[in-house]
Structure 1
């Protein structure tokens, strides 16, 4: 629902989400304030009915928002760990094939260099823009073909080849987990509940009565700003590989420079 936020700068997306909720809340307070007294009657007790509903609804909504925010950040953190694990697996595999004889060693190493370069120059930029990056699977298939075509001629080469095949399987698993993580995101029905809950809470806040309009607008605006900040945080981290807040390719870059010397 909020995937479009990833196409905007972080500051602009933040201002749009928080500003919209603040404007809607302040407008609701200004429009509904004259009718609050007619609907809920005079003081005392005018706010007790609203407070009861706002407190109960706020507790459940706050719990939902907190759990969703925690789960979203956990998914984001897990995606960063997957990138680190894949980079480590590629680096280890590169060192494994370094023990191969010529010309197989150069061919296998070049395949891994091409794959890493594709990650940095094509895959991550495309994922950040919300596109499906091409090329990586073809390079992995090419490497697998070259790896399995090698026939060990000595006991040492057989040991090295077996270890390389095992490491390739580990790398392929890490890569598939990272690819699966790129398709994450909260379901639309959950986003619908979050947005509906926010509107209900803001509506209840508009029905709350304070002695002065300025105080009502100030407190309502602050509450709406805080609510908008939480919703923006969830939306910004919802797709961990998209937007300016996407996971960093730094582990891949570090391996590319330190292990492959590129």
Structure 2
């Protein structure tokens, strides 16, 4: 008889992650949450409305009965690690989550290369601008005479300067945020490596337990937490158990010698830093460009590019070159904003490589 293991986790804070488990036969798969009605069989005392523990769910449950957080695994394979809120308002049958506007950018960054996105973004902007210019020129032939070029030129210069300054500010801010995220990741990995080195001064039993906790933590960061951050669902619970285990080892250890005391204090300090950097990393994973700035970046492009249509030139080739140049520059700038807005998604994302290097490499040795 095959068995399925169901994990229910409700997270209030890193220190308050609650996990309940229930063992049931695979055909009797029931979905459980800590926000369900009272029933003796429910691990938390309450059952999710609409989920019958005596009936199968027929694969992925309908969105209306998705629990607050269900980690579903069969044979050690995580089949459904996200929450209903993580997936958005819709979910497609077969285990593929539906996409809403908030997750569309992440989906594009994780499924298409930067080059492909550049072709569609920059190329699409240029083609749309050239097509719009040609249509306006055909509809109003007098535009080619440049009768209003003085007024259009002043307006275009003013809008271009304002939009350029704002867009440059946004790009520099996002680039700085990406560099800060890389620094946070490197600092967290460095502190974890220093704990590993400090543990060498402890008794063998303490060192073994601390190494085991740190190894589990590093693996959880790379194999569990990183995919969640890449998908836009950062979670403290992915590493909380292992971090608490490391704290427990140090809290229950009483150094005997002066040497052990020195390394013990350093290890405690580094572990505190790991917890601090973890919070900063997850905070960065949740950051995104404010909606007002997103609207300003896109709205500015929708104003600036059409203005170039009104700047008339007698030669069609020169007109097309002018419009395409402005549109290409605007499209490339929007591409930078789009790519840099998510530090853990896409080709330019922050890499988890620091957790595999240096003193931490021993945890990845086969």
TM beyond 0.5: yes
1:150 and 1:214, CA in 2 relative to 1: closer, same or farther beyond 3 A? same
The structure 2 residue matched to 1:81, chosen from 166, 177, 183, is 183
Root-mean-square deviation (Å) = 2.2
1:31 and 1:41, CA in 2 relative to 1: closer, same or farther beyond 3 A? closer
Q: Does 1:30 find its partner at 2:130?
A: no
Which runs of no fewer than 5 residues in structure 1 stay unpaired? none
* TM-score of the two chains, using structure 2 as the length reference: 0.66
- In 1, Cα distance between the equivalents of 2:292 and 2:357? 40
Q: Does 1:143 find its partner at 2:246?
A: yes
Q: Aligned residue for 1:158?
A: 261
Q: Is the 8 A contact 1:97 1:164 kept in 2?
A: yes
Q: Aligned residue for 1:123?
A: 225
Which one has a larger percent strand, Structure 1 or Structure 2?
2
The structure 2 residue matched to 1:7, chosen from 110, 116, 120, is 110
Equivalent residue pairs, number = 260
Deviation at 1:155, TM superposition (A): 4.1
- In 2, Cα distance between the equivalents of 1:84 and 1:115? 15
The structure 2 residue matched to 1:207, chosen from 302, 307, 310, is 310
- Correspondences of 1:179-258 after superposition (within 5 Å): 179-255=282-358, 258=361
The structure 1 residue matched to 2:281, chosen from 172, 178, 197, is 178
| Greater relative contact order (Cα < 8 A, sep 6+) | 1
- In 1, Cα distance between the equivalents of 2:327 and 2:364? 51
Q: Does 1:168 find its partner at 2:275?
A: no
Which one has a larger percent helix, Structure 1 or Structure 2?
1
- In 2, Cα distance between the equivalents of 1:184 and 1:200? 27
1:109 and 1:42, CA in 2 relative to 1: closer, same or farther beyond 3 A? closer
Which deviates more from structure 2 when the two are superposed, residues 204-213 or residues 27-36? 27-36
- In 2, Cα distance between the equivalents of 1:100 and 1:234? 48
- In 2, Cα distance between the equivalents of 1:166 and 1:132? 25
Which runs of no fewer than 5 residues in structure 2 stay unpaired? 1-101
* Partner deviation per Cα, 1:116-144 (whole Å, 9 max, x = no partner): 12222222233223333552122101111
- In 1, Cα distance between the equivalents of 2:278 and 2:212? 18
Q: Does 1:46 find its partner at 2:46?
A: no
Q: Aligned residue for 2:70?
A: none
Please give the secondary structure, in 2, of the residue aligned with 1:247. coil
Which deviates more from structure 2 when the two are superposed, residues 150-159 or residues 218-227? 150-159
